[in-house]
A and B are shown apart, each in its own frame.
Chain A
């Protein structure tokens, strides 16, 4: 049996140190001479005492127990796990970007402001919007910001609209964001093809409709073909259309939310714009709006004066306020900007074409072995159902675990909720045909294993540093820190 990996706290030996501090070159006053004893720490924080080699080996070993896009294929649907360009990492670390303070005089950060200003206008062009805030830190944060904008818009018109409509296939963040923005959620059932049911939508809208939130292509990887009619129905009722940009990788340069009738859009830069997911963050979720919502955007945005100088534009009396401290996740915005400039508009269009071609190819090749939830063309991702393996006692979870033994990150599983035993596969454009073929072959082999030797699949994985973990005990008797103190 492989031994447990030690915690950093377990490596501690009193007297060791990994830090190097400057000599104190000012008078060495005692803390208690300037700070009352009651505010000073009675008991030191019991942090580990290790030296630098311990630190490096510990975290290097942890990194070896992790799997990222650089380790292999990561077709996690809805998350757009594309290649994270190394140039972007390098430029974000330039001292002229990484070692800046948000409150420096504008004259001392003109390069940073120029970058933000250009990114605002590039993202507006990409989405067909009239203005963009770069403040939100993540997709969910962008959703909430967008809904607060919608709320402010309706309120400014003296209207009290309390309901946000979301399709049943939507990501759980949509209703959650609506709830924390103070709206009630109305769930809309999809039709048998996974599309918005227009009759149901007509019945759902009314003078209390604030917005319809839509992901297009949807979480099923399908384009809402009747988007123009959908937009008309919502707008006629006085509501606005919110675009969840989670799936923008399918349509860059091909179709723009603004032209489809959407009024507010958020983008996930950590999906579409290749910024690394970082193990769960940081991301960035800029929000774009049509002109009628411009007065409500968070402050500040970046403006440009007639003389070409860039400045923080905080003059927006109807603004909803501020949704994050400082100016958003600047380091992520630098990466996204660099990404845009590696491709330009023609290149971004090609990105989406390749992403869609890859997804359709995989869907077609896997169709004989798994059930395609919604046949036809897909966009950048597609949904399979593992329901036919249930006859052998094998579930989608087991297929996912078995994929680990083949060196792959599994697809998103059990989402969307309206497909039984679902697997959502998103290859992205940065994967080669050989990679797709090898993954497809592994999926086919697992389907065969499920039939001939289900136990093999049920006991997977075999090659990982730990086997399946007891999640029930973890949640029943939570151990959430090592309580070393």
Chain B
């Protein structure tokens, strides 16, 4: 058969078989027992030519409501931010995206330097001493942080706020089960932040770490300055999960006393892409450097004294440690780390601050509209960044509300009742710099109208 990705001609095949000393290609599979051979064609989707495939994919894509056509007010960990045009151009360079892990540093200096710069960016934003080359996503990064904390403190108990993203807590639970860690959840205070008294009571002498997210899942900023002494007094570690874009404005985890800072880099120029792939980041204080999971790039010199970069501290890595591993990650999200780096290069010192400020201004304008309309109320009083919770009138059907909003061109907020039964009838609404005043006003007008 002829196929545009396959160069094998009949003549090639004949010559190669002759060299091998085989009669047929079939002979090369003689080591596979007949009893396990598959005969016939697999019941899978069939082949399409290039034009037909493009048409098919366009049809599938066309059955989805995307951010170009709809104004998105959904957040909850994945956000519709502006992606600078240059980002896609750079990550589309095939020298980057068709390469694998930089095992051969002499021909991988581009990727290695890009990761070194990413690590530098993460350290700069988070105020932490060292960062790795990235993790699968923010949720798995948080779970790995718990594992690191347990290993470093030789303790088994992990205390996590219920205001941490529900899916991150679900991933944490599976991870903890594997590693034999105990997870203790702490509830929220009426203002939408973690209940400090409950937190203090949950921290024991066997607590490896407290895991807190800020802005938390409800958009509220946690009072980290009050949380930090609670865990450090018991010699446990403080793990903060943060929105990297918020760090243009908000105090860095390092300055707040975090031992480990993690998060998802999606807000930094990475397409929402139905939730993935994104890129987790992971940064620690210096004493934890050699316990950090994943890949790390370091600076060194070549035999002629030129600056160069290599994968380093590799002996920590799971594939070297085999059964002694404490993590099994052996890749990173290099291309998306590159994307985040490009975003931060475009934004620079001023742009990141201005973008963060725009998010604050637009979301606060939106919350003021929500409060003023009459039908919605704002249940939480804690300060927030670009997301806030609204309470719908008693008996409102959130599914129906979001359905009507969709018809009007809006992707509505996140229904909190699914993950928090006590917050039935509450919506989490995100307002990024992409939302115009007009969209914000129309959105709340529409919402008031359908309620």
Q: Which of B70, B174, B308 has a CB less than 8 Å from the CB of A148?
A: B174
In the complex with contacts A107-B406, A468-B106, A172-B318 CB distance below 8 A: yes
Q: Which of B47, B65, B303, B338 has a CB less than 8 Å from the CB of A468?
A: B303
Whether the pair B351, A478 counts as a contact (CB closer than 8 A) is no
Whether the pair B28, A481 counts as a contact (CB closer than 8 A) is no
Q: Which of B47, B108, B327, B333 has a CB less than 8 Å from the CB of A180?
A: B327
* Residue B114 CB within 8 A of the other chain: yes
Q: Residue of B at shortest CB range from A61?
A: B110
In the complex with contacts A35-B221, A430-B5, A466-B120 CB distance below 8 A: no
In the complex with contacts A137-B277, A182-B178, A344-B47, A281-B334 CB distance below 8 A: yes
Mark interface residues in A82-112 (1 if CB within 8 Å of B CB, else 0). 1111010111111111111111110111111
CA distance A39 to B215 in the complex (A): 11
Whether the pair A49, B349 counts as a contact (CB closer than 8 A) is yes
Whether the pair B92, A404 counts as a contact (CB closer than 8 A) is no
Q: Residue of A at shortest CB range from B101?
A: A280
Q: Which residues of B contact A276 (CB under 8 A)?
A: 94, 97-98, 335
Whether the pair B136, A141 counts as a contact (CB closer than 8 A) is yes
Q: Residue of A at shortest CB range from B74?
A: A101
* Residue B287 CB within 8 A of the other chain: no
In the complex with contacts A228-B35, A346-B1, A26-B328 CB distance below 8 A: no
In the complex with contacts A36-B383, A110-B63, A55-B318 CB distance below 8 A: no
Whether the pair B110, A343 counts as a contact (CB closer than 8 A) is no
A26 to chain B, nearest CB (A): 4
Q: Which residues of A contact B56 (CB under 8 A)?
A: 341
* Residue B291 CB within 8 A of the other chain: no
Among the 9-residue stretches B152-160, B203-211, B294-302, B372-380, the one with 4 or more Cβ atoms under 8 Å from chain A is B294-302
A18 to chain B, nearest CB (A): 4
CA distance A244 to B87 in the complex (A): 35
Q: Residue of A at shortest CB range from B46?
A: A344
Interface residues on A, range: 35 or more
Mark interface residues in B80-124 (1 if CB within 8 Å of A CB, else 0). 101010101110111111111111111111110110110111111
Other A-B pairs, 11, CB within 8 Å; known A18-B347, A140-B330, A467-B303: A17-B351, A22-B436, A35-B383, A94-B57, A100-B67, A140-B328, A172-B325, A185-B323, A278-B333, A332-B276, A341-B47
Q: Which residues of A contact B59 (CB under 8 A)?
A: 111
Whether the pair B64, A108 counts as a contact (CB closer than 8 A) is yes
In the complex with contacts A95-B68, A347-B1, A410-B104, A225-B275 CB distance below 8 A: no
Whether the pair A99, B272 counts as a contact (CB closer than 8 A) is yes
Q: Which residues of A contact B167 (CB under 8 A)?
A: 322, 325-326
| A and B contact pairs by CB, cutoff 8 A, 20 listed | A9-B117, A41-B252, A62-B109, A63-B95, A87-B54, A97-B273, A104-B411, A107-B403, A176-B321, A279-B334, A281-B136, A321-B171, A327-B274, A331-B271, A340-B45, A346-B1, A377-B30, A478-B289, A482-B120, A482-B299
Q: Residue of B at shortest CB range from A253?
A: B42
Among the 9-residue stretches A71-79, A203-211, A446-454, the one with 4 or more Cβ atoms under 8 Å from chain B is A71-79
Q: Residue of B at shortest CB range from A321?
A: B174
In the complex with contacts A40-B249, A342-B47, A401-B106 CB distance below 8 A: yes
* Residue B346 CB within 8 A of the other chain: yes
Mark interface residues in A277-300 (1 if CB within 8 Å of B CB, else 0). 111111110000000000000100
* Residue B238 CB within 8 A of the other chain: no
Q: Which residues of A contact B64 (CB under 8 A)?
A: 96-97, 100, 104, 108-112
B41 to chain A, nearest CB (A): 4
* Residue A306 CB within 8 A of the other chain: no
4 pairs of A and B residues whose beta carbons are closest in the complex = A326-B275, A96-B61, A344-B47, A172-B319
CA distance A254 to B46 in the complex (A): 17
Q: Which of A74, A126, A184, A327 has a CB less than 8 Å from the CB of B275?
A: A327
A170 to chain B, nearest CB (A): 9
In the complex with contacts A95-B61, A100-B274, A42-B255 CB distance below 8 A: yes
Mark interface residues in A311-339 (1 if CB within 8 Å of B CB, else 0). 00000000011111111111110100110
Q: Which residues of A contact B63 (CB under 8 A)?
A: 96, 109-112, 114
In the complex with contacts A63-B93, A173-B330, A361-B19, A466-B308 CB distance below 8 A: yes
Mark interface residues in B328-359 (1 if CB within 8 Å of A CB, else 0). 11111111101001101111111111110110
Interface residues on B, range: 35 or more
CA distance A42 to B252 in the complex (A): 9
In the complex with contacts A104-B74, A279-B97, A347-B1, A357-B349 CB distance below 8 A: no
- Find residues 6-61 in chain A having any chain B CB closer than 8 Å to their own CB: 7-9, 12, 16-22, 24-29, 31, 34-36, 38-50, 52, 54-56, 58-61
Whether the pair B67, A99 counts as a contact (CB closer than 8 A) is yes
CA distance A60 to B277 in the complex (A): 23
Whether the pair B319, A84 counts as a contact (CB closer than 8 A) is no
Whether the pair B276, A469 counts as a contact (CB closer than 8 A) is no
* Residue A5 CB within 8 A of the other chain: yes
Whether the pair A39, B7 counts as a contact (CB closer than 8 A) is no
* Residue B421 CB within 8 A of the other chain: no
Among the 9-residue stretches B9-17, B229-237, B443-451, the one with 4 or more Cβ atoms under 8 Å from chain A is B9-17
Among the 9-residue stretches B137-145, B184-192, B389-397, the one with 4 or more Cβ atoms under 8 Å from chain A is B137-145
In the complex with contacts A9-B120, A100-B64, A68-B99 CB distance below 8 A: yes
CA distance A279 to B221 in the complex (A): 35
* Residue B248 CB within 8 A of the other chain: yes
CA distance A83 to B7 in the complex (A): 12
Q: Which residues of B contact A177 (CB under 8 A)?
A: 328
- Find residues 217-256 in chain B having any chain A CB closer than 8 Å to their own CB: 221, 223-225, 247-252, 255
Q: Which residues of A contact B288 (CB under 8 A)?
A: none
* Residue A431 CB within 8 A of the other chain: yes
Whether the pair B124, A341 counts as a contact (CB closer than 8 A) is no
Whether the pair B178, A180 counts as a contact (CB closer than 8 A) is yes
Whether the pair A68, B94 counts as a contact (CB closer than 8 A) is yes
CA distance A104 to B224 in the complex (A): 32
- Find residues 406-442 in chain A having any chain B CB closer than 8 Å to their own CB: 409-410, 412, 429-433
* Residue B197 CB within 8 A of the other chain: no
Q: Which residues of A contact B5 (CB under 8 A)?
A: 82-83, 85, 342, 429-430
CA distance A147 to B177 in the complex (A): 12
* Residue B258 CB within 8 A of the other chain: no
* Residue A484 CB within 8 A of the other chain: yes
Q: Residue of A at shortest CB range from B165?
A: A325
Whether the pair B295, A280 counts as a contact (CB closer than 8 A) is yes
Q: Which residues of B contact A46 (CB under 8 A)?
A: 124, 349
Q: Which of B41, B67, B80, B95 has a CB less than 8 Å from the CB of A70?
A: B95
Q: Which residues of B contact A485 (CB under 8 A)?
A: 123-124
CA distance A280 to B353 in the complex (A): 30
Q: Which residues of B contact A298 (CB under 8 A)?
A: 174
* Residue B423 CB within 8 A of the other chain: no
Whether the pair B365, A26 counts as a contact (CB closer than 8 A) is yes
Q: Which residues of A contact B62 (CB under 8 A)?
A: 96, 111
CA distance A48 to B345 in the complex (A): 6
* Residue A1 CB within 8 A of the other chain: yes
